[in-house]
Each structure stands twice: as C-alpha cells, then as structure tokens.
Amino acid sequence: MVKLGVFDLDGTLLTSEDKLPDTFYQDVELLHSRNVSVAIASARPAQFLFDMFDRDVDLLMSGEDGNIFFRGKQLLHARYLSSELIARVYAITAERDDTAVLCSGLNDIYVSAEHYRRFVEWGKGRFMPEAPKDLTANAEICKIHVLCRDGVEAAKHMISTVFAELRGSCDMTESGYGWIGITEKDSNKAAAVRFFQKYLKIGNDETTVFGDSSNDIPMFELTEHSYAMKNAPADIRQKARHVTEEDNDHNGAMKALLRLTSSNTA
C-alpha cells in the first residue's frame, strides 16, 4: 500500500504558469485521510518553498536537491557547502557573461547586483529576492544555483567541460531551463526520498514519485511506483515505470496518486 507521494515542482506539480493546482490543499487533506503523506522534492531554495506553501499544513518539504528538509515549520535536517567549494565556483564563473550565480541557504538568498540584473534580463526575475544581497563569509549555503543564459544544452556543456574539475568534490545536476545545481556529494532527489522514507519508517514499495526532468531520474530508480509527467521529454518518460494520463496543467501527478490510493483506508 502506498503511504508516501513525492512530487517534483516545476513541470510536475506546478502548472506552466508556476502555480499550484486549485485543489491542491483539498487533495492533500484527502490523501491524509487515506494515510498517505505528501512530500515535495525540489531543486528550489527553501525560501521559495516557504513563499509557495502554507506551512501550517502538514507537508514534508525538501529543497536544494535533498540538502534541506522541513515538516511544516519544523526544520528536520540541513547540509551546508564548504567555503572552499563556493569560492571555486565563483572563481570559475567570474569572467563569464553567459552565466548568473546565486547561493541559497536556510535563512537567505545571496546574489550580486550584476548577476541579479542578468537573472531579470534572462526572464528569471521571479526567482529573485526583493533586493540583491552579496554573499557573506559566515553564510550557511546549502546549494549554488548557476543559470546558463543559452539554455539546457549550454548547461550540459558547462557541466562536462568548465565544471569538470569539480566533479569529484560535489554533485552537479542539470535541472531544466539552463539551471545547474551544485551541492555536496550524494545530494539528489533520491537522497531526499530516502530521508522521507527513514523519517516515516516506510520502504520503496510504499513510495510513489513524480517528476519531469533529468534531476528526477534518481528518485525514479528507487521505486516501481515512479511516474514521469505526460509533458516530460521522451527520454525522461522512458526512465519511469509509468506516465501520467494528464499533464501538469491538468493536475496530472496528483490525480495519478489519488487514483493509486483510492482503496487506502486510514
């Protein structure tokens, strides 16, 4: 019996207009009545999750590709990057005009004024804090987010070339739209799912996951109850055991979980 549903955000749970489905909280309540926990596994910074979700609702949330975990307002766990790794990423990108960098942690988002301008010009202003804030020496950073101006293929190329020297000391994921996520080793959405499973004391056969991008593949590999979105690229759909009947603009992920758990009783 499925006891946990884990959702990616962009392209999965969220609509193409970056909004939660209208029935989201109603659906969560129904799932809770079926003894099913609901979790979010996102590459986004924690602050974005706080802004998006009602934290009085009993939701499990992981941001920063499995580096920070909450249950509602309660912090469960966090991992932070070394200052040496952060300095190296900044040094590599310092002379480039085709990338923009931000750092995110538990308490804040850090981005220089110049890179803030790039994010806005490249159509990613909605991901920015209200005002740019330079990185401080004592900041606790969970993840570095690098945006490649020229999109997904440019991001993949940077991972294999420009950032190749870092591969042994960190994890890097291309998460769509030209974003590169840089985290501590063994930080990915599979690690996020395993954290939730350990916290709830459940196994892979009791877990369902939903995603649409390459950084969702590690969690697809954990369970037979893995769903790629109907709107996901063909190569991503091939990595999951199932494909949702509806896309992200028609609440496809949540509808699939509701159908799967329709026989559950609390």
Task: For residues 152 and 205, state if they share a domain.
Answer: no
pLDDT > 70? residue 265: no
The gap between the terminal CA atoms of the chain, to the nearest Å, is 11
Read off the pLDDT of residues 129-176 as tens digits, 9 standing for 90 and up: 777 888 988 889 999 999 999 999 999 999 999 999 998 899 998 877
The verdict on residue 266 lying in a domain is no
Phi, then psi, of 219 in degrees rounded to 5: -80, -25
* Residue at which a domain ends, from 183, 215, 246: 183
**Which pLDDT does position 43 carry in this prediction?**
86
Read off the pLDDT of residues 84-119 as tens digits, 9 standing for 90 and up: 999 999 999 999 999 999 999 887 889 999 999 999
* Residue at which a domain ends, from 183, 213, 235: 183
Cβ neighbours of 55 (radius 10 Å): 15
Query: Which class for 196: exposed (0-12), middle (13-18), buried (19 or more C-beta within 10 A)?
Result: buried
The verdict on residue 156 lying in a domain is yes
Cβ neighbours of 77 (radius 10 Å): 12
Banded pLDDT at 1 (limits 50, 70, 90): very high
Burial code (b: 16+ CB inside 10 Å, e: under 16) for 160-183 equals: eebbeebeeebbbbbbbbbbbbbb
pLDDT > 80? residue 256: yes
Task: For residues 92 and 74, state if they share a domain.
Answer: no
176 neighbors 214 (Cβ within 8 angstroms): yes
pTM for the whole structure: 0.83
Q: Which domain holds residue 128?
A: 83-183
pLDDT > 60? residue 182: yes
**More confident: 251 or 167:** 251
Task: For residues 197 and 176, state if they share a domain.
Answer: no
pLDDT > 60? residue 55: yes
**Which pLDDT does position 231 carry in this prediction?**
97
The verdict on residue 265 lying in a domain is no
Question: For the chain, what is the domain count?
Answer: 2
Residues in the chain: 266
DSSP state of 126: G
* Residue at which a domain ends, from 162, 183, 204: 183
The verdict on residue 113 lying in a domain is yes
What is the spatial distance between Cα 43 and Cα 176, in angstroms, rounded to a whole number? 10
CATH of the domain at 46: 3.40.50.1000
**Which pLDDT does position 187 carry in this prediction?**
85
Query: Which class for 26: exposed (0-12), middle (13-18), buried (19 or more C-beta within 10 A)?
Result: exposed
CATH of the domain at 131: 3.30.1240.10
The verdict on residue 132 lying in a domain is yes
77 CA to centre of own chain = 16
**Which pLDDT does position 263 carry in this prediction?**
86
Average pLDDT over residues 225-248: 97
Task: For residues 246 and 179, state if they share a domain.
Answer: no
HSE of 163 in the Cβ direction (CA atoms, 13 Å)? Answer: 28
